[in-house]
Amino acid sequence: MGFVVGLDGGGTSTRAVVLDLAGERVGAGVTGGANPNSHPPAVAAGNVREALVAALAGVDPAAVEAGVLGMAGSGKVLSDPVVGGLFEAAWRGAGLRCPLRVVTDCEVAFASGSGSPDGTVLVAGTGSVAARVENHSLVSTAGGYGWLLGDEGSAFWLGREAVRAALGALERGGADELTAAVLERAGVGAGVGAGADRERWRRLITAVNAGPPVGLARYAPLVTAHAGAPSAERIIGGAVEVLVGLAEAVRVAGETTPVVLVGSLVRAEPLGSRLRRELGRRTGGPVVVASDGAAGAAWLAAVEVLGEGAPRPV
């Protein structure tokens, strides 16, 4: 029996899975990040090889018939011959003879949640983006501009809105549980005297600006943890609205294809459940949460070998 291999390469970790053609998992490996935009390309490629070697333990690499690498930063691998060569060398170095196929992380996320060839994937993590998938391939996107230009509804956005809400409360009054949590996380203690709120306002701005912009994401969990606070309720409602809007932007009227969700916010309650309900109401398709991206990548490889009837990973 032949085999297929799939990898999900992110910024912090790389997962590899080997399946037989019945969809049974026969090997797995986990290593460091494989995104060549956030790691030196040689290091990223080395992590891909390490994950493959671990997953292929006990499997003849020559028996692998197809393989897919899904990753953030796939564009750099596909467009830069030097970077592409490093990843190709890692692939061959693990003993694989089948071609290396590189796709986006959105495509493997969608495949991990649905066996449909067409639909929508909505990413709600540190960043945010929606993508339209047709015949298992990404054809268009909405959002995904990064923290400076967009990422509405993302963890970065939630964290920034939490800090802004705290600043507004210190300016105009109306502090609530979220305000207190933001100040505590920022290390801003209680002020003294008539100008206490103004002093804490200044210290909060200084504390936030002392870190990198992406550090705002660390305030995001405070929003869902204090969902009952009025300011948190407004932020959660805003996040759901913009995320559903992203998904709607890549769909056509009357479409009922699946919507697959991926990212840390998808399971952050109550935001996640509200997002799923609103997507189901407004998109008309089944809403599912992505599972194992590496298994989704392996299933895409199996489709190359067996066609649309390839068994879903067990």
- Amino acid, res. 30: V
From 34, 13, 26, select the one nearest 295 (Cα to Cα). 26
Domains 3-114+291-306 and 117-285 agree in fold: yes
* pLDDT band with cut points at 50, 70 and 90 for residue 54: very high
Q: Which tokens sit at 99?
A: 């071609």
Looking from the CA of 165 toward its CB, the CA atoms found within 13 Å total 28
For 89-99, write each residue's pLDDT tens digit. Answer: 999 999 999 99
3-114+291-306 has CATH 3.30.420.40 classification? yes
**Region 100-128 average pLDDT:** 93
Percent of the chain topping pLDDT 70: 98
Tens-digit pLDDT profile for residues 242-278: 999 999 999 998 899 999 999 889 999 999 999 999 9
pLDDT in tens, 165-190: 999 999 988 899 999 999 999 998 76
Tell me the C-alpha distance between 272 and 263, whole Å: 10
CB 270 within 8 A of CB 244: no
State the pLDDT confidence band at 27, using cuts at 50, 70 and 90: very high
Which are the contacts of 261, defined by CB distance < 8 A and separation ≥ 6? 113, 121, 122, 124, 272, 275, 276, 279, 287, 288, 289, 290
With a cut of 60, say whether residue 17 has pLDDT above it.
yes
User: What sign results for the dihedral spanned by CA atoms 41, 44, 50, 55?
Assistant: negative
Q: Which two tokens stand for residue 186?
A: 């920022």
**How would residue 193 be classed by pLDDT, with cut points 50, 70 and 90?**
low
Instruction: CATH number for 117-285: choose from 3.40.50.200, 3.40.1190.20, 3.30.420.40, 2.40.50.140.
Output: 3.30.420.40
Average confidence score pLDDT of the chain: 92
pTM, full prediction: 0.87
Phi first, then psi, for residue 179 (nearest 5°) are -55, -50
pLDDT at 192: 53
Going from N- to C-terminal start, the domains of the chain cover 3-114+291-306, 117-285
Residue 289: which H helix or E strand, with range?
Answer: strand 287-289
